Structure 1
């Protein structure tokens, strides 16, 4: 579970501001993604890497996941400025909504924002390198090092290995960052705290968790386990953690 941070708050606010969609929960994350970005959202039952490879092959699209087959909740692949987002259609609505938020967070944090930054620093001609059309020139490589940007293509980032472990620290941090932004997109921390404390200015850690969890599940439509974990994070931030009485069950 990613922690709330100012950068995620800023990105989420900019995201929703650009959509012009209703600000009343549950937020239309799928509609927002389709409105803002050249991303096709594809639902496949019992999603797996093999099914994604087959989907591309059947459409004569030269993209492959290049990983061992395994089940997935979601997957996003980027190519030449556009994306394909695959969602497990077998999951329930709450899980699918969270998956879309998580995958678009990857699109923003791991692809679009870094890509825009590189183009701004090195010029529009570097798009050919980022899209894998050509290799970077020596000049572009040097400029990339000097300006602290990676001049190379990026297509996808699978979150975990088949056994559920993270492949490396880069993937671990990317997943945490995507979770953080996904939560801020679907249930902004400051708004959730205000609504949880709506009736009382102060709550115990236990009461905050209970009220917050119900709010996240029923009003903001988060998956049950994610709502429970997020409520605990927000409760610690709002109350400083459980008191001795809370720990004793009173």
Structure 2
């Protein structure tokens, strides 16, 4: 069963499952969310920074370090709008997942907190969310009881000197973005019938073919689902009817 937080995220974004796969998220995003998808070759933080500055957009971008050699994409946001960058030099399957992952960050870390706050306070809270004024004592108290954040989102790309994510909340944010990205690209309800009665390898191949994921991402998705469903691993001995010694 899909987690409730994931169902809420899909509903809030409007990105319910399409009729056809592999999914063209880029085409859908422009119609549903205030997000611009930008493809740049050989993506680096510096390239993202320069792209924004040329358009007089001043949003913090992570610094260039050797730890970003695996920099596939990033999301930056300000005042309710987002920019999703991905590396156009990579394969289309890699690009598809990168866009979905970075979009998931926007939905979970920016869009949904904003939707929840407006639902409780109305649009009068937008200047607080955009950093234009401080919340009133009453707004702060209400936010506390409603478990709503009125402050800016923390730095979710922070890494330590070894290149690992610097804080536990950063790791959790990455995990949830991966899970939502998979739900957007290869919904659990559609994947399970493809993988539960076949070997893990065959199931992975089916997911790659239908949903346009890389083999690595598809295999991890299939393996996790089969573990949850308690599907036994394929055994050649069982297939041949040979009893284990």
TM-score range, shorter chain: 0.7 to 0.9
Would the aligned equivalents of 1:78 and 1:155 in 2 still touch at CA under 8 Å? Answer: no
- What does 1:6-45 align with in structure 2 at a 5 Å threshold? 6-9=4-7, 11-12=9-10, 15-17=14-16, 22-45=18-41
Q: CA RMSD in A?
A: 2.7
Would the aligned equivalents of 2:45 and 2:64 in 1 still touch at CA under 8 Å? Answer: yes
230-239 vs 86-95, greater mean Cα deviation: 230-239
Would the aligned equivalents of 2:195 and 2:226 in 1 still touch at CA under 8 Å? Answer: no
Q: 2:216 aligns with which of 210, 225, 240?
A: 225
Structure 2: tracts of 5 or more residues without a match: 241-245
Would the aligned equivalents of 1:79 and 1:155 in 2 still touch at CA under 8 Å? Answer: no
Per the TM alignment, residue 6 of structure 1 is displaced from its structure 2 partner at its CA by: 4.0
Alignment coverage as a number of residue pairs: 236
> Under a length normalisation based on structure 1, what TM-score does the superposition of the two structures give?
0.83
SS of alignment partner, residue 8 of structure 1 = helix
Residue of structure 1 equivalent to 2:63: 67
Larger relative contact order (CA 8 Å, sep ≥ 6): 1
Take 2:42 and 2:10, find their aligned partners in 1: how far apart are those partners?
A: 30
Tell me: CA distance 1:246–1:114, structure 2 relative to 1, closer, same or farther (3 Å): farther
SS of alignment partner, residue 35 of structure 1 = helix
> Under a length normalisation based on structure 2, what TM-score does the superposition of the two structures give?
0.85
Per the TM alignment, residue 196 of structure 1 is displaced from its structure 2 partner at its CA by: 3.3
| Segments of 4+ moved more than 6 angstroms | 246-250
Structure 1: tracts of 5 or more residues without a match: none
Residue of structure 2 equivalent to 1:49: 45
